[in-house]
């Protein structure tokens, strides 16, 4: 590894599984210390134990604004500060609009859009105290194009893209903010699709690169936006979808 994050102190939400876990593993390998947040306390402790020295796990729901503030302060204390945030926590409910329950809508907006706001707001004093800092929000290709049954999810992720652009405008020049737009990535959230061979083949055929995404694909893109490789990029987003959005 090139130690692209040597000495960095990064807070990662949704770190108990999937993309968040993969990002944590890569970031630690690249020299960062990481604070792992997830509402699955047992899961996040397991990942922290996997990573060992340089990782600390914290049980936290990003929608719990009051509780989140205290957890972020604990994380900053454990790391000796925070100079990076990755918002990877997210939920998905694929349901036609005519059947979408208001509680499901509210929960997707709360986790996928308000959650990143809560995390950034709580971490902001630490980010502003750093010489340079970064924010990476994990959005979705669903933020870029309409798909059946994703009214709530797509709206929450499209909002997250605009939130990211506003962060880039408001927090520069010392804090950069960018977003990742994954396509179908093989995680627990999409297991219903990729475990069904027929569905997986059909989904792969819609992708220019002919395969579904892996969590490491997203982790490497997140590394780019967190490292100095992207030092002149802010308020932007990167599709990591194998060419799905433009097909």
pLDDT band of 42, cuts 50, 70, 90: very high
Positions marked catalytic = 153
Phi, psi of 220 (to 5 degrees): -65, -35
Helix H or strand E segment including 113: none
Contacts with 110 (C-beta within 8 Å, 6 or more apart), sequence order: 63
User: Tens of pLDDT along 51-69?
Assistant: 999 999 999 999 999 999 9
**Sequence spans of domains, the chain:** 9-185+214-235
pTM listed for this prediction: 0.94
User: Tens of pLDDT along 98-150?
Assistant: 999 999 999 999 999 999 999 999 999 999 999 999 999 999 999 999 889 99
Between 187 and 35, name the one with better pLDDT: 35
Return mean pLDDT, the chain: 93
Residue 86 in contact with residue 65, Cβ under 8 Å?
Answer: no
What would be the CATH architecture of the domain defined by 9-185+214-235?
A: 3-Layer(aba) Sandwich (3.40)
Q: What percent of the chain has pLDDT over 90?
A: 83
């Amino acid at each position: 590894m090139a130690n692209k994050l040597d000495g960095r102190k990064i807070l990662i939400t949704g770190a108990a599984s999937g993309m968040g876990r993969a990002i944590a593993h890569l970031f630690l390998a690249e020299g960062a210390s990481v604070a792992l947040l997830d509402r699955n306390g047992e899961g996040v402790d397991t990942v922290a134990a996997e990573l060992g020295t340089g990782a600390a796990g914290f049980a936290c729901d990003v929608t719990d604004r009051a509780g989140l503030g205290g957890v972020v302060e604990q994380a900053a204390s454990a790391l000796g500060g925070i100079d990076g945030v990755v918002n990877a926590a997210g939920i998905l409910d694929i349901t036609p609009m005519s059947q979408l329950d208001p509680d499901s809508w509210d929960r997707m907006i709360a986790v996928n859009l308000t959650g990143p706001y809560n995390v950034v707001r709580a971490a902001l004093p630490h980010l502003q105290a750093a010489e340079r800092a970064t924010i990476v929000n994990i959005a979705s290709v669903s933020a870029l194009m309409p798909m059946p049954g994703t009214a709530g999810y797509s709206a929450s992720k499209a909002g997250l893209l605009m939130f990211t652009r506003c962060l880039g405008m408001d927090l520069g020049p010392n804090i950069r903010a960018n977003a990742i737009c994954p396509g179908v990535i093989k995680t627990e959230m999409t297991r219903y699709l990729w475990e069904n061979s027929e569905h997986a083949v059909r989904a792969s055929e819609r992708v220019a690169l002919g395969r579904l995404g892996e969590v490491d694909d997203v982790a490497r893109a997140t590394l780019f936006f967190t490292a100095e490789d992207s030092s002149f990029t802010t308020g932007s987003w990167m599709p990591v979808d194998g060419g799905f959005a433009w097909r």
